[in-house]
């Protein structure tokens, strides 16, 4: 019956031939709009979401506008009414989705720009309109972009190299250890000439990447120029998950830079830390987790990293409008780092999952934070895969630190601030740190003025490569008494 209703509505008047499949578009738009209405953080009726979706057509042709008036939906082009529809019930998602497609077809009757738009252009206009501009973290990705997103999150069938286009040459700049490329003997500075016998010169970077990627266990032949010789290598693709954890040692301190959180972040860190402890024993005096510049990533992997250092208690909680968005994530018994002191480095670009890890370690009394106030991205996004193989990333809940405060728009406050904007006289005042954190952990989500003033106490700054921050961390870990004093100032009000 639903399909008959679609056909009836879309066939009621002659329409120009669209450059996309009408039934597939109806299915994709209906699925996407329903997901937005059911799951987004703020409750918005289907009517409002659909009207914004129709307004998104203006992204294709700015002459179009739509209004809801007197129970009628009017689509206009400049000063001309193009179509007039009866408004469905406010919560009737399916009917509103049909109206969106009908409006797109009617718009195409008048506008070549709309008529000639392909399906991806239509979906982007409609879904970006539906998602609006209030939430910067909700977005639509077309099928090709969504495939890349999924590969970034979950890994992909590849060979394990990084290359750059240098004067037209696809030159390898890095071969990741323990990958097919490394095992096949590929080297940095090799130039890729052919992939499966086809030249790559003249191709864009993404086109070359697409040729290198493929199904896991499939093989390809890469022809390389190495010095003055041509070298051919057969490489079998495997699951490639980008490396996110690097380790360095400074005396008895293990330093781990975590660039983001993907499927292997937690397991990689656990392996490296366990091997280091086994090798160094009592000579391992502390750990630095460097989260500067870390934009976040997979929530569950950030939680798993926190669980390596926290014996018990809450790591993070999430709260949303949809009951499925609510969760309290806790640590399991056992702490891989045992009683090792931990310092976490953060800056103004540490966001989302990085902030979850930092706040959990701070509130649990397990780490001293050094750096600047973090980004303040405290919302949770769920990824909705659409029938067209694209995806909507939708904000549906907020993060709350173990002590209860909402991270969004506030961020995490470091005990030792290195922000250039903070007065030198205020640095190292542990009483001030304790007082600030007491307010920080109780400020209301709606008290935007106070939240802004709190952020100004240690303004966010980009400190990714600031040697001062790491040096301060190493000095603090070398002085157990000083570390204990700072830790006490951070944790003194964490349980209130």
Q: E-strand spans in 241-377?
A: 245-250, 253-258, 286-290, 314-320, 327-330, 342-346, 367-371
Question: Distance between CA atoms of 73 and 5, rounded to whole angstroms?
Answer: 19
Question: Distance between CA atoms of 248 and 254, rounded to whole angstroms?
Answer: 6
Question: Distance between CA atoms of 352 and 373, rounded to whole angstroms?
Answer: 13
Pick the catalytic residue from 47, 102, 350, 377. 377
CB 375 within 8 A of CB 411: yes
Pick the catalytic residue from 47, 111, 119, 352. 352
377 is catalytic: yes
| 3-state class (DSSP) for residue 92 | coil
Residue 485, by phi and psi: left (phi above 0), alpha (psi -120 to 50) or beta? alpha
389 is catalytic: no
CB 261 within 8 A of CB 297: yes
Distance from CA of residue 328 to its chain's centroid? 20
| DSSP states along 126-144 | HHHHHH-SS-TT-EEE-HH
Instruction: Single out the residue of 50, 59, 113, 115 nearest to residue 87, CA to CA.
Output: 50
76 is catalytic: no
Question: Distance between CA atoms of 430 and 420, rounded to whole angstroms?
Answer: 18
Strand partners, 254: 249, 287
Pick the catalytic residue from 52, 190, 363, 469. 363
Structural tokens at position 358:
């930092």
Q: How many C-beta atoms surround the C-beta of residue 415 within 10 A?
A: 26
Which residues are known to be catalytic? 352, 363, 377
């Amino acid at each position: 019956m639903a399909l008959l209703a679609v056909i009836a509505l879309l066939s009621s008047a002659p329409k120009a031939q669209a450059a996309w499949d009408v039934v597939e578009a109806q299915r994709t738009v209906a699925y996407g709009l329903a997901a937005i209405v059911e799951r987004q953080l703020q409750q918005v009726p289907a009517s409002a979401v659909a009207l914004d979706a129709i307004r998104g057509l203006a992204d294709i042709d700015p002459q179009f506008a739509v209004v809801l008036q007197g129970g009628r939906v009017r689509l206009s082009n400049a000063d001309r009414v193009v179509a007039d529809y009866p408004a469905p019930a406010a919560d009737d998602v399916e009917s509103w989705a049909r109206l969106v497609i009908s409006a797109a077809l009617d718009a195409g009757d008048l506008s070549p720009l709309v008529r000639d738009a392909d399906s991806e252009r239509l979906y982007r206009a409609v879904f970006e309109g539906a998602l609006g501009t209030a939430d910067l973290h909700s977005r639509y990705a077309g099928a090709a972009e969504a495939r890349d997103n999924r590969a970034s999150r979950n890994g992909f069938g590849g060979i394990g190299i990084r290359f750059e286009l240098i004067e037209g040459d696809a030159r390898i700049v890095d071969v990741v250890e323990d990958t097919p490329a490394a095992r096949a003997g590929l080297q940095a500075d090799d130039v890729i000439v052919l992939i499966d016998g086809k030249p790559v010169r003249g191709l864009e970077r993404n086109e070359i990447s697409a040729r290198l990627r493929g199904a896991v266990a499939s093989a390809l032949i890469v022809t390389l120029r190495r010095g003055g010789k041509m070298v051919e290598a057969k490489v079998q693709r495997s699951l490639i998950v980008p490396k996110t954890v690097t380790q360095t040692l400074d005396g008895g301190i293990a330093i781990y830079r975590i660039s983001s959180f993907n499927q292997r972040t937690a397991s990689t860190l656990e392996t490296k830390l366990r091997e280091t402890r086994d090798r160094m024993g009592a000579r391992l005096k502390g750990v630095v987790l460097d989260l500067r510049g870390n934009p976040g990533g997979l929530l569950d992997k950030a939680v798993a990293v926190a669980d390596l250092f926290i014996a018990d208690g809450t790591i993070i909680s999430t709260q949303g409008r949809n009951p499925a968005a609510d969760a309290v994530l806790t640590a399991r018994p056992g702490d891989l780092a045992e009683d090792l002191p931990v310092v976490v480095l953060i800056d103004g670009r540490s966001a989302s999952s990085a902030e979850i890890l930092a706040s959990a370690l701070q509130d649990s009394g397990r780490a001293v934070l050094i750096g600047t106030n973090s980004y303040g991205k405290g919302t949770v996004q769920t990824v909705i895969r659409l029938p067209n193989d694209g995806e909507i990333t939708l904000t549906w809940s907020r993060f709350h630190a173990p002590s209860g405060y909402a991270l969004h728009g506030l961020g995490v406050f470091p005990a030792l601030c290195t922000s250039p904007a903070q007065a030198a006289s205020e640095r190292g005042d542990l009483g001030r740190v304790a007082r600030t954190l007491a307010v920080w952990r109780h400020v209301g989500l709606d008290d935007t003025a106070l939240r802004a003033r709190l952020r100004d106490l240690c303004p966010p700054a980009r400190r990714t490569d600031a040697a001062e921050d790491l040096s301060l961390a190493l000095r603090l870990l070398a002085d157990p008494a000083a570390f204990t004093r700072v830790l006490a100032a951070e944790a003194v009000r964490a349980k209130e």
